[in-house]
Amino acid sequence: MTKKINKRDIGKLLTQWNQEFAIFVPSKEGDTTKMTSWDGKDVSFLDWYRNTVIPPKASFFPPLEEMFHFQKNKGSYDLELPASDGQKKLIFGIRPCDAKALAILDMIFKDAYEDPYYLSKRENTVLVGLGCTNPYDSCFCTSLGSNPSDSANVDIMLTDIGDQFLMEAITDKGKSLIANTSGLDDATEADEARAKEAQETSYRKVTKRVDTKDIEERLLSCFEDQDYWEKVTAKCISCGICTFLCPTCYCFDINDELVKRQGVRFRSWDSCALPIYTKMPMENPREEKWQRVRQKVCHKYEFYPMNFDVIACTGCGRCIRQCPVNWDITQILASLPVKV
Amino acid sequence: MPVIDISHRKKFLAKGNVYLPHIVVIEKIIDETPTVRTFHFNFKDEKLRKEFTFESGQFAEFSVFGIGEAPFCISSSPTRSGHLEFAVQRVGRVTNALHRLGVGAEIGCRGPYGNSFPLDFLQSKNLVFIAGGIGLAPLRALIWNVIDNRDKYKNIDIIYGARSPADLCFRYDLDSWNKDKTVNIVTTVDKGDESWTGREGFVPQVLEQVAPSATKAVAIVCGPPIMIRFTFPVLEKLGFTPKQVITTLEKRMKCGIGKCGRCNIGNLYVCRDGPVFSYAQIKNFISSEY
Amino acid sequence: MEQRLRTEAKTLLEQDKVDYIIGFEPGILKFTTTPLITKDKDDIDRLVINSFIANNLANFLTELKGRVGIVAKGCDSRSIVSLIQDNKVAREDVVILGVPCPGIIDLSKVEKLVGKDRDELDDIAREGDKVVITTDGKRNEFSITEALFDNCLGCELPTPQEYDILLGEPTSPVAEIAASQTQIARLKEMTPQERWEFWKNEFSRCIRCYACRNVCPACFCQRCFVEETEPQWALPVPKWQDNLLFQVVRNIHVAGRCTDCGECERACPVNIPLRSLTKEMYDIVSDLFQFKAGMDKDAPPLMTHYEQEEAEDLVR
């Protein structure tokens, strides 16, 4: 069931979907970009959008989230979960790398005890993917089993074929949504051929590479090589940018606030790059910067694959683009001193 | 990730949400040392009071509402019902707040989390317990369990040390184990005072002097990281293989269920895959991160 | 200048005058540079000096043990001097390789000028007081003042005053003071209520990555107040009120140490105009105490030093 839609009709399409869903689209806030609630009009993102600075994970795992409220009454406490808005959501234009990141996050948030906050939002959301036609020079998704047109992790996939988008339903959720959407044309064989060509062109535009062959073993073999890690992490400033903006980083902190008798327990993004993350009163197992960066690299390329059989990096390149000192993980992975 | 079966524990979730604590009430407070207190507690909810179960070695997340949450092992033994216990050393924000509480105070509790001591593996073995300071808390949850099922196990050796005589925790336990003829206990302090007539010396050194046999034995170790670091080589010298050494670890934790990220040792999470580990499981990563 | 730098740096390492060299090498991404911190003289040939050497390398001095040869633009040299004043760095442990700096190109301004992203540009070249941005083979010329970082436009010390080796001829300030303060001027025109709303909105975006603090040479505390828990001064979560509080206190802590290098604003991944706060504080310090950070290594540091005659003014 492949359809197509004129680019100039995207506003109408979103309006139609807006009847059933809260729509989220790429938007600018000053110079920062993220997925925010659609204002019902503006589709100018189609002109400027390459990817958002804040990854779409923020829609499911926000930087700050209320876990529950509590009220103090004479030494007793009443706990109350936040009301769920129950609103169905649709994210329009998620990139393949970020959709894959959500599939990676699903694994940890479903593992053993389910994480109710993340999963409830996830179940309630339709992902409409938009293939990349203009990847950044920092993108390296093709090295990680994905590509700029990868439709594996979205419900509906759009491919730019000039004046139109080819629209494929990938999941049952996507199929039923497209079946209930009016104003779509059937795609012709020529459209599909154009899409295929566009996808091949995009694929070739991703030129950055990492070699992931035997990466777990390579990392394990140099885990204790302090000199190496110290050298390659010397310029890191231990800020949280690369982890906070990473679409697969999920570490969080939990904190309370109590004002008068009303309290909130918050969950917020945390980062293995910050010393306080592992700090205990007497000791800090990752006091040194090289230990923390090593943890970040190993978690993505060694530990997560050991646990879930997938590298926790999608090659979106945010950590490279946004780093204040231009630290580049692909350089690190290429320079590992492999001991045989 | 190692598969863990938590289905039997899901019934303890408050409103089906793993992060939502239950309310527990502090029933008794014991001053162990100037900085350590044991809290006896029980669930406010009658049903949970009856149904809650746990195993020796497991921990729970306790919260002082408005201050925050922290993990503590359940230091009582599941073989002794009536109430639950946890011991707290005053070191930071949450522990200070806990120490300010009195009997009757309500706190939050969610759990039990983590794995437990492998009782099947320990059966019919000689057990060597090695603990430092408040590290005795998780071990006493096992020691009492073992003593209450005494015929299932062989020799019991306990080597327990603290910085000073005033820092020895659970003296009432030490007294009863001293009186128990089926238990060999050695207590030591780093530095004694005028009234101290017992041993002086760090736990690893005393372990080397006591030199328990490794034959058909398992060593169970808990203490500050520095003690654990120095104890492993001594055990190795005494002939204990990495599989014969079991430890229960402490790391900074928040979620308690393997998600928030910070307590990992390699690919394992102390809260999810531990806190009880064999030395064999963690020796690849532990040297430079613990 | 670049060749001279490489020669000097190599000599410093070879003659064992320093343990480390801190400079810049080309970044992997186009038109970027990245700090090079090395003990190895084979790395020295990678050192560059160009219009993109944005980082304030003084930031690394407090964590390196040993003697360091450091590449320093005017503002960086002031940060080094400020660290010397605060006893964080010993003068004899640093060899300052001074770079007269005609201003650093702000890539986000360049992107706005031509409406394209950095990686879509063919070339960015500085030609005197012009910047030439080549896109799709076409040259686009702009005045350099349109492409430099705001703080460079108001730079008070383009050529380091404190140095061991000066790598080029002294250069004069760009002196586009008004242009360097556009954002601040806009804020000053607002009513207090509007300004409050502005900052509330800006700080709602903050994700507490602490890049602003961690790139800042003046933020040298081993333990930052924001991470203290007993007492807890600010919640360690990105609530806008606490984000704002963090930034206000950080500002007070760097008062008299901030050299207006602009790193905090440049590093911010969500583009909060942090320099509007730090520069305002810089000017307040300058007016109130006639003190400019990092101008004189022998001057006592502002905030840890008290003069009898200050009393009347300070306690008003």
Whether residues B239 and B135 share a domain: the answer is: yes
Could you tell me what percentage of chain C is helix, strand and coil, using 3-state DSSP and rounding each to the nearest 5?
Answer: 40, 15, 45
Stretches where chain C sits below pLDDT 50 are 316
**What's the confidence (pLDDT) of residue A339?**
66
For residue B284, is it within any domain?
no
Locate B279 and state its tokens. Answer: 């030395």
Domains of chain C (ranges; CATH) run 2-106+148-314 (no CATH), 107-147 (3.10.450)
Which residue in B247, B159, B264, B273 sits closest to B208, CA to CA?
B159
Calculate ∠ Cα B165-B62-B131, nearest 5°. 30
pLDDT band at A263 (very low <50, low <70, confident <90, very high): very high
Say whether residue A322 is in contact with chain C using an 8 A CB cutoff: yes
Residue type, A142: T
Q: What is the pLDDT of residue C198?
A: 96
The candidate with the shortest Cα–Cα distance to C287, out of C268, C311, C251, C313, is C313
Concatenated DSSP letters of C260-313: ---HHHHH-TT---THHHHHHHHHHHHHHH---TTS-TTSPPSTT---GGGHHH
Provide the terminal-to-terminal Cα distance of chain A, rounded to the nearest Å.
51
Task: Quick: pLDDT tens for C134-147.
Answer: 999 999 999 999 99
Strand order in the sheet with A64-73: A76-80, A64-73, A262-269, A252-259
| Residue B14 in this model has a pLDDT that exceeds 90 | no
Whether the CB-CB separation of C166 and C159 falls below 8 Å is answered with yes
**Number of structural domains found in chain B:** 2
The answer to whether A174 and A184 have CB atoms below 8 angstroms apart is no
Cβ of C232 within 8 Å of Cβ of B93? The answer is yes
Picking from B67, B53, B69, B92, the residue whose alpha carbon sits closest to that of residue B19 is B69
> Which positions ≥6 away from A175 have C-beta within 8 Å?
A1, A169
* Predicted local distance difference test score (pLDDT) of residue C303: 84
Upper half-sphere CA count for residue C88 (Cβ side, 13 Å): 23
Q: Is residue C241 within 8 angstroms of chain A, CB to CB?
A: no
Same domain membership, residue B179 and residue B89: no
Q: Are residues B24 and B141 in the same domain?
A: no
Q: Does C248 touch chain A (CB under 8 A)?
A: no
Q: Can you tell me the distance from the alpha carbon of A73 to that of B9, in angstroms, rounded to the nearest whole number?
A: 30
Specify burial of residue C193 (Cβ count, 10 A radius: 0-12, 13-18, 19+).
exposed
Where among B113, B147, B175 does a domain terminate? B113
**With pLDDT > 70 as the criterion, what percentage of chain B qualifies?**
97
Question: Which pLDDT does position B1 carry in this prediction?
Answer: 67
What is the CB neighbour count within 10 angstroms for residue B3? 6
Identify the closest residue of chain A to C239 by CA–CA distance: A64
Taking CB atoms and an 8 Å cutoff, what residues of chain A touch B224?
Answer: 282-283
ipTM field: 0.93
Partners of B10 on chain A (C-beta within 8 Å) are 113
Cα gap A175→C250, rounded to integer Å: 52
What pLDDT sits at residue B284? 72
At a CB cut-off of 8 Å and minimum separation 6, what does B47 contact?
Answer: none
CATH number at residue B58: 2.40.30.10
Cα B117 from Cα B221, distance rounded (Å): 11
Beta bridge partners, A253, equal A268
- Residue C231: how many CB atoms within 10 A of its CB? 7
Q: In this structure, what token pair is assigned to residue B254?
A: 């928040």
Write out pLDDT tens, residues B240-269. 999 999 999 989 999 999 999 999 999 999
Q: Assign residue B174 the CATH number of its domain.
A: 3.40.50.80
Alpha-carbon distance of A219 to A229, in angstroms, equals 11
pLDDT at C313: 57
Whether C214 has its CB under 8 Å from any CB of chain A: the answer is yes
Q: What is the pLDDT of residue C310?
A: 64
Q: Specify the DSSP element, H or E, that contains A3.
A: strand A2-6
Helix B171-179 × helix B136-148 angle, to 10°: 40
Tokens of C139: 């040259």
Point out the least confidently predicted range of A160-169, A231-240, B11-20, B138-147. Answer: B11-20
Instruction: Say if residues C294 and C56 touch (Cβ distance below 8 Å).
Output: no
pLDDT of residue A34: 96
Chains meeting C at 3+ CB pairs closer than 8 A? A, B
**Residue from the list C208, C209, C270 with its beta carbon closest to the beta carbon of A32:** C270
Last residue of a domain, one of B113, B143, B167: B113
Number of B–C residue contacts, CB under 8 Å:
6
Query: Whole-angstrom Cα distance, residue B58 to residue B273?
Result: 11
Mean pLDDT of chain B: 93
Which residue, B223, B226, B268, is CA-closest to B248? B223
Compute φ and ψ for C25, nearest 5 degrees.
Answer: -125, 165
Q: Where are the domains of chain A?
A: 2-205, 215-334
| pLDDT of res. B130 | 97
With 0-12 / 13-18 / 19 or more C-beta atoms within 10 angstroms meaning exposed / middle / buried, residue C134 is middle
A224 touches chain C (CB under 8 A): no
Of B113, B135, B169, the last residue of a domain is B113
Nearest-CB residue to C215 (from A237, A269, A271): A237
Chain C residues whose beta carbon lies within 8 Å of the beta carbon of residue B92 = 229-230
H-helix segments, A213-274: 215-221, 226-233, 241-244
Question: What size, in residues, is chain B?
Answer: 290
C94-98 and C68-72 beta bridge pairing: parallel
- Determine the distance in angstroms separating the CA of B65 from the nearest CA of chain A, rounded to an integer: 7
What are the tokens at C160? 């380091």
- Tell me which residues of chain B, numbers 83 to 102, contact chain C at a CB-CB cutoff of 8 Å: 92-93, 96
Residue B239 in any domain: the answer is yes
- Closest CA–CA distance from residue A340 to any residue of chain C (Å): 25
Distance CA(B28)–CA(B83), nearest Å, equals 10
Residue-wise pLDDT tens digits, C19-41: 999 999 999 999 999 999 999 99
Span A112-150, pLDDT tens digits: 899 999 999 999 999 999 999 999 999 999 999 999 999
Helical ranges in A85-214 per DSSP H: 96-110, 116-123, 172-179, 189-205
Q: How many residues belong to chain C?
A: 316
Whether the Cβ atoms of residue B231 and residue B221 lie closer than 8 Å to each other: yes
Which amino acid, one-letter code, is at A201? Answer: T
Q: What is the per-residue pLDDT for A184?
A: 95
Residue A283 pLDDT > 70:
yes
Q: What is the tens place of the pLDDT at every residue in B55-113?
A: 999 999 999 999 999 999 999 999 997 899 999 999 999 999 999 999 999 999 999 99
* pLDDT mean over A256-263: 92
Q: CA of C229 to nearest chain B CA: how many angstroms apart?
A: 6
Binding-site residues on chain C for chain B (CB distance < 8 A): 229-230, 232
Name the strand (E) or helix (H) holding A16: helix A10-18
What was the pLDDT predicted at A31? 80
Taking the CA of residue C231 and the nearest CA in chain B, the distance in Å comes to 8
For residue B93, list chain C residues with Cβ-Cβ distance below 8 A.
Answer: 229-230, 232
CB contact under 8 A, A281 and B92: yes
pLDDT the model gives residue B82: 84
**Cα–Cα distance measured from residue B211 to residue A198, given in angstroms and rounded to the nearest whole number:** 73
Range in B28-32, B173-177, B281-285 with the lowest mean pLDDT? B281-285
Q: What is the pLDDT of residue C174?
A: 86
B216-228 per-position pLDDT tens digit: 999 999 999 889 9
Residues B146 and B54 grouped into a single domain: no
| Beta bridge mates, C141 | C132
**B197-205: long-range contacts, CB 8 A cutoff, minimum separation 24:** B198/B165, B201/B161, B202/B161, B202/B227, B202/B230, B203/B130, B203/B131, B203/B132, B203/B159, B203/B160, B203/B161, B203/B227, B203/B230, B203/B231, B204/B230, B204/B231, B204/B233, B204/B234
B109 shares a domain with B123: no
Q: What is the pTM of this model?
A: 0.94
User: Residue B115: what pLDDT?
Assistant: 94
Please name the helix (run of DSSP H) or strand (run of DSSP E) that holds residue B119, with its range, or none: helix B119-122
Q: A242: how many CB neighbours lie within 10 A of its CB?
A: 26
Nearest CA in chain B to C231: B93
Q: Do C60 and A234 touch (CB under 8 A)?
A: yes
Query: Whose structure tokens read 């080029």?
Result: C168
Element (H, E) at A306: helix A304-308
Contact A72 B10 (CB under 8 A): no
Give me the pLDDT at residue B134, please. 95
What domain range is B136 assigned to? Answer: 119-248
Per-residue model confidence as pLDDT tens digits over A191-243: 999 999 999 999 999 999 999 999 999 999 899 899 999 999 999 999 999 99
CB contact under 8 A, A324 and C266: yes
First to last CA, chain B: 21
Strand segments, DSSP code E, in chain C are: 20-26, 33-38, 68-72, 94-98, 123-127, 130-135, 138-143, 165-166
Q: Verify whether the Cβ–Cβ distance C269 to A244 is below 8 Å.
A: yes
Interchain contact, A281 vs B250, CB within 8 Å: no
Tell me, what DSSP letter sits at residue C41? G
Note whether B129 and B235 are same-domain residues.
Answer: yes
Contacts of A263 in chain B (CB under 8 A): 65-66
**Inter-chain contact B65–A258, Cβ cutoff 8 Å?**
yes
Q: Is the pLDDT of residue B290 over 60?
A: no
* CB < 8 Å to C217, chain A: none
pLDDT of residue C312: 61
DSSP H or E stretch at residue B289: helix B279-289
Residue B114 confidence class, pLDDT cut points 50, 70, 90: very high
Residues 6+ apart with CB under 8 A from A37: A22, A23, A24
Looking from the CA of A99 toward its CB, the CA atoms found within 13 Å total 28
Asked if C270 and A331 come within 8 Å (Cβ–Cβ), the reply is no
How far is C-alpha A269 from the geometric centre of its chain's CA atoms?
13
